[in-house]
Amino acid sequence: MTPGSPSLFQYQDTVGKLRLYIEQEKLRHGDRLPPERKFAELFGVGRPTVNKAIACLIAEGFLRRDGYKLYVAGSPLTAPKATHIGVLCPHPLHKKQRIFHNLVEAAHDVCHLAKVGFTPMLSVDGPQQQEQLSEMLKLKTDGIVIWPHPDHDYMETFKRITDRNIPLVVNDCNWGPFDYVGVDNFAGIQTILEHLEKQGHLHIAYVTKHMSYPNVEQRCEAYRYLAARMFSESSPGRVYQIPLESEESLPEIIKKIQRKDKEVTAICCSHDMVAIEVIRACLQQGIDVPEQISVTGFDGIEAGETCHRPLTTVCQDFYQMGLLAVDLLIRRIRMKHIRHAAQIQQIRVIPHLVVRSSTAPAPQKSRRRPAATARKHN
């Protein structure tokens, strides 16, 4: 689905058209409406879109059903209570990663169509964002969508929000039993490893940091699982973690890989910033990228396009994830009284591969698959 495509928000536009139809036809409480089929023809949309729009108006108490018949349940001239949401995300210049504005841009686009007010709040760290959440609760906001900082524990606060029956959608990072929209980490790692396999790489190392971050934990688990099935038996054990307190240790890790795992021809990294540093460390040590070692990242940040060797990576569509998160939040607010719609939603968006010059075919001598692994792979 292309970001911003009409199909994603047609039902919200249809909600407005239904209200306008009722007002123009001067329908009152108890008046019967035409069937869904008529509205689909009138508005030029599919019946599922009309059905979704009607469900929203029923949830607001504006319409009611009696079997297959649809009736006006409230005054069409009485505007519903204005909805207002909070949108919290890290500052776009924080750590020089311009990815977080996509959530604010998406919130603007969705809220404009849905006629919902929103307050964006930017933060530089977890404690500041925690204060913003407390402020949102004091303002009695109708719902919150948050892109949390990876190094802060939000579980207690999130539980307090949902216990107060305030809809909450978490963007990017899956913190457990809450509505969530983020990347499919398993699919992303699989895409990268399949790309490396096609280029003849059979001996791959994995470099990561911030293992306490749920996304990065999931990527490492995906690597171990897939590497055991796709490559040599030693690949799952080739996981190197950069200590949080020392960025200087990365060159030592590269030296260790060269010394201990001379067969390695590719390094898969937990995210793009790690991959960029790996490329820099390799070049500083006279290791050519990608002729001697191919390097891949994960995320698709802008810095990956302009680093020493433009980075092969799987790109997340941050704007689309923002669209889906805000849309889910608004549906939660407008349909909160519909019991069968209350199930927690966990939406994972599959990233797409972008091949640049940090990867190349493996040296011919490294393409021979060990006999035991070859049998397992086949």
Question: Encoding tokens for residue 273?
Answer: 């910033």
- Whether 129 maps to a domain, the answer reads no
* CB neighbour burial string for 233-252, b if at least 16 within 10 angstroms, e if fewer: ebbbebbbbbeeeeeeebbe
* CB neighbour burial string for 88-121, b if at least 16 within 10 angstroms, e if fewer: bbbbbeeeebebbbbbbbbbebbbebbebebbeb
Question: Encoding tokens for residue 47?
Answer: 């019946």
CB 285 within 8 A of CB 292: no
- Whether 89 maps to a domain, the answer reads no
CATH number at residue 36: 1.10.10.10
Domain region containing 52: 6-72
- Whether 97 maps to a domain, the answer reads no
- Whether 180 maps to a domain, the answer reads no
- Whether 335 maps to a domain, the answer reads no
- Whether 327 maps to a domain, the answer reads no
Question: At which of 72, 99, 122 does a domain end?
Answer: 72
Q: How many domains is the chain built from?
A: 2
The pTM of the full predicted model, rounded to 2 decimals, is: 0.76
Residue type, 17: K
Question: At which of 31, 55, 72 does a domain end?
Answer: 72
Residue positions counted in the chain: 378
- Whether 247 maps to a domain, the answer reads yes
What is the residue-level pLDDT of the chain in tens, covering all 378 positions?
444 444 556 777 888 899 889 888 888 888 899 999 999 999 999 898 898 888 888 877 788 888 888 999 865 444 556 899 999 998 876 555 555 568 889 999 999 888 899 999 999 899 999 999 988 888 889 999 999 988 888 999 999 999 999 999 999 888 889 999 999 999 999 999 999 999 999 999 999 987 678 888 999 999 999 999 998 778 889 999 988 665 558 889 999 998 888 899 999 999 999 999 999 999 999 999 999 999 999 999 888 999 999 999 999 999 999 999 999 999 999 887 777 778 899 999 999 999 999 999 998 755 555 544 444 544
Distance CA 34, CA 27 (A): 11
Secondary structure (3-state) at 82: coil
- Whether 172 maps to a domain, the answer reads no
Question: At which of 27, 52, 72 does a domain end?
Answer: 72
CATH number at residue 372: 3.40.50.2300
Question: Encoding tokens for residue 33?
Answer: 């409406």
Residues paired with residue 119 on neighbouring β-strands, in sequence order: 86
Distance CA 325, CA 199 (A): 36
Q: Verify that 62 and 195 share a domain, yes or no.
A: no
